[in-house]
Every structure is written in C-alpha cells, then in structure tokens.
Structure 1
Amino acid sequence: MALTFGECLLREVRIRAGFTQDQLSDGLLEICGLSVSTTLLSFYENNKRPIPTVTMRGICIVLGCSEKDIYEWPM
C-alpha cells in the first residue's frame, strides 16, 4: 500500500472533471509532457503507488484541481 494514512481521491476528482483514464493520460502527455499510462493511473487511484510530485502537479493542471483535492488526510 502506498499510503499508510489517508485516501487517494484521484478517481473521484477525475470522474467529476469528466475525464477517462485515457483522456487524463493523453492530457498529461499533451499539456505537461508527462508519459503516464492508464495502468499507472490505476495504481495511483487504488492507493498501490504514491503519485510523484511532478505527476501530481501535472494531474492538477489537467484536471483543474489542487493537490489537496487529490488526497484526503485523517484529522
């Protein structure tokens, strides 16, 4: 498990923004020059891998959200 605490909300944020994994992957490449496969996006969404900082920033740019929208941390 990538995160000991907290939950990755990438899937919810991506769906709310109207993107499929394919569209997000394409957007990351076109807008940010980042090659992120749909398999890797699935790993992020299922908390199996942490999202690297540069990729997180790219996701936020493409989806029009902030980093705090991607993870929910317990109080």
Structure 2
Amino acid sequence: MALTFGKCLLRYRRLEAGITQAQLSDRLSRLGLDVSTVMISQYENDHRKMNPVVMRGMCIVLCCQEVDLYEWPR
C-alpha cells in the first residue's frame, strides 16, 4: 500500500511562523535547497507534493515535524 498525502498545511504553518513565501524561499536556500516562491505556491495549493528533502527543510525552517505539513489519512 502506498503512502498517500492529504491536504497540504504548509500555508498555515508558514503564516503561523509569520513569514512570507519569499522569506521561506530565502531560508531554504540557506540550507542549500533551491525552492522558488512559485514552487512554494504550488505546494500550498496542492499542485505539487514535496519530496522528502524539501519537506525536511520546511520542517527545519518552520520548527515543525513532517506530520504537521499534511493532513494524513487515517
């Protein structure tokens, strides 16, 4: 059985942290991840799923865990 993703909660986590998409992109670049604001928007609008490396970078920047970035089906 494959792991499925639910709704992306990145926008909520980002706004909770009080940062813009541009600031998130900049902080990810400091970790060596090239994630544009366009890509962040695609994640937030469920047009693209994060790969594990990007997801971990998001967690480091937003001080959360991977489980906090998506609604996981039960």
TM-score normalised according to structure 1 size: 0.89
Deviation by residue 1:15-64 (Cα, 9 ceiling, x = unmatched) = 0011100000000001x110100000000000000101100000000111
DSSP 3-state at the match of 1:35: coil
Identity of aligned residues (%): 59
Q: Which runs of 4+ in 1 moved over 6 A?
A: none
Give the RMSD, CA atoms, in angstroms.
Answer: 1.2
Structure 1 or 2: larger strand share? 1
Alpha carbons of structure 1 residues 20 and 53: separation in structure 2 relative to 1, 3 Å: same
Structure 1: stretches of 5+ with no match in the other structure: none
Cα distance in 1, alignment partners of residues 54 and 5 from structure 2: 20
Structure 2: stretches of 5+ with no match in the other structure: none
TM-score normalised according to structure 2 size: 0.90
Cα distance in 2, alignment partners of residues 5 and 35 from structure 1: 22
